[in-house]
Structure formats: C-alpha cells, structure tokens
Amino acid sequence: MTNLMRASNELFKRSPDEVYESLQTLYEYCREQKNAALDRWHPPSSICVSGDDSLVCNVGNDGAFLMND
C-alpha cells in the first residue's frame, strides 16, 4: 500500500512542464533527449580532479566540468 501512495504522490506533484499529453509525446521527448546527448569517454589516466573554490573535473581536451555536469 505504501508503494501505491508514493506513486500517487509522485504522479500528482508534477509541475505542468513535466506533464505530457500522451505517451507518444513523452516518447518523442525522450527520443530527442537521447539523440541530443553526447557520449564522452576518456581513459582514466586523462582525468584530473582539482578543487579551488569548487570541485572540478578536468577531462582530456574537453575542459573543466563541475561534478554535476
């Protein structure tokens, strides 16, 4: 019963920008997100983490990324 209540709460707390008219529109949105995603792979030896003001991850020639990118 707890799982059903949690699922119901999750469903109805969505903001209008997270609600889709149909399963097809949700599918199209997810497909667009997948097609726009970039895969970046670098050997572990090219990854360097530093932390001056915030924790930054330097990856190859791609530059510095915050840890939430």
Domain that holds residue 63: 42-69
Q: Are residues 13 and 28 in the same domain?
A: yes
The pTM of this model reads: 0.40
First to last CA, the chain: 36
Q: Are 57 and 47 in contact (CB under 8 A)?
A: yes
Q: Are residues 33 and 65 in the same domain?
A: no
Total domains in the chain come to 2
Q: Are residues 1 and 30 in the same domain?
A: yes
Q: Are residues 25 and 47 in the same domain?
A: no
3-27 pLDDT tens trace: 778 877 777 776 766 778 888 998 9
- Residue 65 phi/psi, 5-degree rounding, is -125, 140
Percent of the chain topping pLDDT 90: 16
